[in-house]
Amino acid sequence: MAQAPGTRPTGAPRAQRRSRVVPIQTLPNHRLVAVYLLLSLGLGGLAVRLAWLQVVDTRNLQTKARAIQTQSERPLGKRRTIVDRAGRLVALDEERFTLWAHPRYFNFPGDDPQKVRRPEEVAARLAVVLAVPADSLLETMAGRRSGVKLRSDIDPETAARIGRLGISGLDLEAYPQRIYPQGSLFANVVGFLNLERVPQAGLEQSQDRDLKRQETTVSMRRGADGTPLPEGLSAGSLYGDDLRLQLTLDARLQQVAQQALANQVKKWSAKRAAALVMDVRNGEMLALASYPSYDPNRFWQASPALFREWSVQDLYEPGSTFKPINLAIALQEKGIDPKGTVHDSGQLSIGGWPIFNANRQGNGVIDFPTVLEVSSNVGMVNAMATIKRDRFWHWLRTIGIDTRPDTDLPGAVAGELKPRNVFTGHAIEPAVAAFGQGFSLTPLKLVQLHAMLANGGRLVSPHITRGMRSGDALAPAPRASGLQVLDPQVTRTVMGWMETVVTNSASLGIRVPGYRIGGKTGTAQKAERGVYIPGALITSFVGHLPIDDPRYVVLVVVDEPKGGNAYGSTVAAPVARQIIDALLVLESIPPSRPAELGAAKPPR
């Protein structure tokens, strides 16, 4: 029978079929030894390496492990809160959020982990929470797969609602935002932060180091599942201070002052105005208002010229409001007698320069209270002529006319005073200085000098902060301080003269039944770079209260009011009266003459 090709004959012997099995051969001993040595060397190397890692290289491995296990939380850069003297919020940091979208990872709760939702579905849910059209959200995300900034300035409540949606692919990035609850009320002294949180003006800039909250980068160890490990936190790493910067300013009085200034600036079409209230005992400022102002929450809408407080940084000639200070100098030098008189002819000539009273009329022989009451320029020139020019200049230097005030107010500047040789070598210089012209200072400096008259001759440092306080605690008012410059009897005499100005001038409108108040008006020509501007005036009024126990000085300055009847008595004094009325109530100042107060009440 024929056999199919490729097949083995069935009848082939068994031995022939086993011929393909490879026979086992005995290996040489040297090959076994080689393999054994190779394995021994490998195990030995592993043992040495393990010993090296566990004993020698331990610190390096621990460092690498810590780097993998540790998460660093960088501080947000929060700032401390600012409050007024009563704890009312002036500036604070609030948490805000930026919403980022990553469309490539959109997924709803309960979805298959691999499922990716369409942007339209996410936009529909977000639109309800953000209160914005879904189309605008879709337009923002169009064609982008990740890192889409949908919204910023999201408040914590809205952020929590977004978080409760549970949508994967949405990230909320927290950041602090500086808020000024009082709006423009304290903008002139507090300043603001720009969009990069860099301080640009006021206390935010000058107190930047103190306002930065105590924050450090927190390094936290985590387990394999991300659980924080307590042993990874060092002592104090989670500490956060609750300090607040407390001001001396009173928000209520500041509001009264700013509103009164705004009304008067508009009424008289003035360029600007400022009002300052100081506690004469310790130099605390209760109000420092100016108009026009700006909203620090929207600083980009304001002119940069408003970012500086002009009552602290701009110089002007004080005019008649400086006359009481000059009379105190004359009394201190014993150039005039408290009960003496002076002759006022209405005009005189000094070194060929004519000097007039404001009304160009003489008042004859008058005493010094009358000199202040009628604001006699000629009378002041004759009174100060009793003092040697060198001594007059020396006193102007002593009280710090050309020295920067010791203050925490940002940007405070020194005034300008003629050099000694010029002042003493030209008779016209001490003559015009007698009625407050020929030199310049800031309204802040003038308040400081009038506080010196009120507190018995002590030169106090004007300031607007009481320092840092913890929690809700408030700092008490500091004790009386200051360098003694004038004799207390001298200042009491001048204060009495200033009281007659208010008492004998009903038209001034400063008299308050039951209270003893002193004051002085000022209407001065405005100078710029040593040249007087035709028709430009600076009107002012300074008041003291109560005269029997002086506590406060009020100064109002209105720059360039327009009109034929623009004087300190008509422009500045009405603002001062509103501030004084508020001050009497807010500070609970008792009346000096209760009987007079009772008689002034209207009958029922």
CATH 1.10.150 in the chain, residue ranges:
97-104+122-178
pLDDT at 602: 43
- Give the CA radius of gyration of the chain: 41
Q: How far is the CA of 597 from the CAs of 16, 513, 573, 582, in angstroms?
A: 143, 5, 22, 16
CATH class name, domain 97-104+122-178 = mainly alpha
Q: What is the mean pLDDT of the chain?
A: 88
How far apart are alpha carbons 84 and 189 in whole angstroms?
Answer: 12
| Single-letter amino acid code for the residue at 93 | D
Name, in order, each residue with C-beta under 8 angstroms of 477's C-beta and a sequence gap of 6 or more: 279, 282, 284, 466
Cis bond leading into 546, ω under 30°? yes
| Single-letter amino acid code for the residue at 339 | K
| Residue spans of the chain under pLDDT 70 | 1-22, 68-77, 214-240, 597-604
Do residues 183 and 295 touch, judged by C-beta distance below 8 A? Answer: yes
pLDDT at 223: 58
Beta bridge partners of 349: 354
Single out the residue of 318, 340, 341 nearest to residue 396, CA to CA. 318
DSSP annotation of 316 reads: B
Do residues 568 and 541 touch, judged by C-beta distance below 8 A? Answer: yes
How far apart are alpha carbons 586 and 581 in whole angstroms?
Answer: 9
Beta bridge partners of 176: 95
DSSP annotation of 416 reads: B
Our CA angle for 542, 545, 550, nearest 5°, is: 115
How far apart are alpha carbons 172 and 163 in whole angstroms?
Answer: 8
Tokens 């490729």 label which residue? 6
Token pair of 187 as six digits: 């903008």
The model's pTM: 0.81
| Single-letter amino acid code for the residue at 551 | R
- Count of all residues that appear for the chain in the document: 604
Question: Three-class SS of residue 288?
Answer: strand
pLDDT per position as a tens digit, 374-392? 999 999 999 999 999 999 9
> Does 3.40.190.10 match the CATH number of domain 251-465+476-599?
no
CATH 3.40.710.10 in the chain, residue ranges:
251-465+476-599
Beta bridge partners of 545: 552
pLDDT at 563: 87
How far apart are alpha carbons 353 and 355 in whole angstroms?
Answer: 7
DSSP 19-55: TTSPPP-PPPHHHHHHHHHHHHHHHHHHHHHHHIIII
How far apart are alpha carbons 471 and 469 in whole angstroms?
Answer: 7
Q: What 3 state SS string does 439-462 have? A: CEECHHHHHHHHHHHHCCCEECCC
